[in-house]
Amino acid sequence: MYNFLYKYITPIFGYIMLFFYGIVDGFNGSYGIAIILFTIFARLVTLPTTISQQKGMAKQQRLAPKIRRIQEKYAGNQQKIQEETQNLYAREGYNPMSAGCLPLLIQFPFIIGLYGVLYNPLRYAIGLDAATSQQFVDVFSNMVKDGVVTVGSKVDRYYPLYIIEHFSEVLDYISAKGITTVPAEAITKVQTFIDAKRFVFLGLELGVQPQYKVFNKYWLIPILSGVTSLVSAIITQLQQKKTNPAANAPGMGCTMLMMPAMSVWFAFMFPSGIGVYWIASNIFAFFQTIILKKVLSPQKNIAKLMVKETVERRSRENSIKRIKNI
């Protein structure tokens, strides 16, 4: 499933990334800015699922008192509680997935596509065709096998980022081995991209992988990934506490810390360009949560739901009256 999504979704997002980089390149901007624009685009595309989740949380809050009454009435009978809760959901037209995992699952294909794009600047920034990009990857793969370079991941799909970082070594290897399969025009394109420092963002090479054993400026990426993820998790947790009493349960604090910890760990495992995406995504999610909380607050949604249900109830009552009068 992963490979299928990666193969077919990545090219679609790739053309979008080329569009954003074309805009940035026109102003002599960094590839990092294109990543940020691309991240905002991805967040906007998945915004409907976020709004759906917000509305689902509001309905969850409105149903919470009824669920508590069911739990009190059938205390000790878990099967009956589940049965009555499901009946309540059916009567109210509520899907628990709308306030939980479904929005995240919908975003999964987008995340895979994003990673595929960010890992291949040869195609989706410099604009090389698939065959030429693969020729570079084949050369770099041989370099790894020969021990000429050492990389954090030996998966071929990650190599285009590493090629940018180690391009001078790639050129030396091509010259030393007498390799003629890589077109000279393609080499010139990549070299021009690097010389213009398009792959440098805020003084950081986007193809460089932070090393936890070596403290340097690249530690900024994992630190910001963790901090922004933590802030986003705290905001989400505070909102959930208002809509779901279970959010106050013991152990939720540990769960909240898991994503920031994973963000830090992954930021050390992959090139800095991926970290920039995570940071931008977390920051955008933070502001998105704040804005949606004001525009689509649980209180407003609950009020709308109550008005809608009142209208529907009166409509049913009027229909019954008309039937009786016939």
Question: Is the pLDDT at 223 greater than 70, yes or no?
Answer: yes
Tell me the three state secondary structure of residue 204.
Answer: strand
Of the spans 7-21, 153-167, 173-187, which averages the highest pLDDT? Answer: 173-187
- Please say whether the beta carbons of 232 and 286 come within 8 A: yes
How far, in Å, CA of 258 to CA of 177, rounded?
Answer: 47
Tell me how many helices (H) and strands (E) the chain has: 14, 2
- Which residue from 45, 60, 155 is spatially nearest to 98, judged by alpha carbons? 60
- Which residue from 165, 168, 154 is spatially nearest to 206, judged by alpha carbons? 165
Which of 68-72, 289-293, 305-309 is predicted with the least confidence, judged by mean pLDDT? 305-309
How far, in Å, CA of 223 to CA of 236, rounded?
Answer: 20
What is the reported pLDDT for 310?
A: 62
Which of 47-56, 59-68, 118-127, 290-299 is predicted with the least confidence, judged by mean pLDDT? 290-299
Q: What is the 3-state secondary structure (H, E, C) of 300-316?
A: HHHHHHHHHHHHHHHHH
Q: What letter represents residue 220's amino acid?
A: L
Q: Is the dihedral of CA 94, 97, 99, 103 positive or negative?
A: negative
Question: Is the pLDDT at 315 greater than 50, yes or no?
Answer: yes
How far, in Å, CA of 290 to CA of 269, rounded?
Answer: 31
- Please say whether the beta carbons of 296 and 53 come within 8 A: no
**Which residues share a beta bridge with 204?**
201
Cβ-based neighbours of 268, under 8 Å, separated by 6 or more: 209, 210, 211, 212, 222
- Please say whether the beta carbons of 25 and 206 come within 8 A: no
- Which residue from 241, 236, 226 is spatially nearest to 292, judged by alpha carbons? 236
What is the reported pTM? 0.71
Q: At what angle do helices 184-195 and 130-145 cross, to 10 degrees?
A: 80
DSSP annotation of 200 = E
Which of 111-120, 163-172, 179-188, 203-212 is predicted with the least confidence, judged by mean pLDDT? 111-120
Of the spans 44-53, 89-98, 143-152, 288-297, which averages the highest pLDDT? Answer: 143-152
